[in-house]
Structure 1
Amino acid sequence: MKRLKYLAFALGIIFLSVYLYQHFIYYMIPFNPIEEYATESPVDFHLTHNLSDGEEINAKSHDQKTCDLILEYLSNLNLKPLKDKDARNALAKKENEGYITGMLKLDQSREIFISDLFIDDPDVLHISSSIAGFKGEGYYKIVDSTFDYDYIINLIGKEEK
């Protein structure tokens, strides 16, 4: 009987710990899912700036050196996961603003996508991927800085000259 009490208590502590981690602690720990791919050599990068009037400005790079610098920049961003509710609240205020989407292609079938990055306040973004087993799909807040859109455009612009 005493063992059963200890077992029930231990299981309760385990379930409580898992619940607290999944719903609170996970969102406090900085995590950048792109960092895992920082040593790879991407084959190209596409960026689309969607203006508030519906017009699109596209930029792309196939240069290995430029793509490596872009991957390095993206993998060095200090990101914290956001709960879906917090992300929706942050994005609801930005409904009619211009935003950025991007795709970093690692090879024919592996791509990392960045979306919902608003130009006027580029501190929240969505990361997803076509990579099987990709850890970290979701919304992230950029901590201690904002996304440097101009840096990426200047890298691609230097390549095109």
Structure 2
Amino acid sequence: MKKIKYLAFAIVIVLLSIYLYKSFIYYLIPFNPIKEYSSESDVDFHFSKNLPKGVGVNAKCQDAKTCGLVLEYLSGLELIPLKDKAAQEMLNYENATYFNGMLKFNESEMISISDISIDTPNVLRISSSIIGFKNGYYEIEDSTFDYNYIYDLIGDTKE
């Protein structure tokens, strides 16, 4: 009977630990999901600026060296995961200019960087169809997203 009590107590402690990690601790630990792809050499990058009236400006990386620099910048960001509700409260979608980007590896794996608003350039959404990828909103710690740097790197802008 004592073994069953100890087993039940252990199960409760494990379940409580998992709940605490998923609900609180996970959102305190810096994590950049792009960092594990920073050594990729075959990378394409598309970036678009969406204006409030539906007008967009698109840019695409033309050479491997530039795409590598973009990937280095993105993988070097200090990111902290955000709960979706907290991120939605921080973002302002009404009449906002926002940016979207897409990293494409080996023509099949893609990572989408979206919801980067000029009003809140320290919050972004990172998602991918890659199995095991940590999709979600992230806050840039100690800085903001430097979209001008990205556009200056790419240089080839099309309307």
After TM superposition, the score normalised by the length of structure 1 is: 0.92
User: In the alignment, is the contact (CA less than 8 A) between 1:43 and 1:63 conserved in 2?
Assistant: no
Moved over 4 A (4+): none
* Matching residue's letter, 1:135: F
Report deviation, 1:2. 1.2
User: In the alignment, is the contact (CA less than 8 A) between 2:99 and 2:114 conserved in 1?
Assistant: yes
**The residue matched to 1:33 in structure 2 has which SS?**
coil
State percent identity of aligned pairs.
Answer: 60
Q: How many Å separate the matches in 2 of 1:51 and 1:79?
A: 25
Q: 1:42 to 1:100 in 2, by over 3 A?
A: farther
Corresponding residue number in structure 2 for 1:153: 151
User: 1:125-144 CA deviation, whole Å, 9 max, x = no partner?
Assistant: 1111132x142111111111
State the aligned residue count. 157
Residue segments in structure 1 that go unaligned for 5+ positions in a row = none
After TM superposition, the score normalised by the length of structure 2 is: 0.93
Q: How many Å separate the matches in 1 of 2:25 and 2:79?
A: 15
Q: How many Å separate the matches in 2 of 1:107 and 1:37?
A: 12
User: In the alignment, is the contact (CA less than 8 A) between 2:44 and 2:103 conserved in 1?
Assistant: yes
Q: How many Å separate the matches in 2 of 1:43 and 1:64?
A: 7
- 1:1-161 to structure 2, matched below 5 A, reads 1-91=1-91, 93-131=92-130, 133-157=131-155
* Matching residue's letter, 2:104: K
**The residue matched to 1:85 in structure 2 has which SS?**
helix
* Matching residue's letter, 1:109: S
Q: How many Å separate the matches in 1 of 2:75 and 2:112?
A: 13
Greater helix proportion:
1
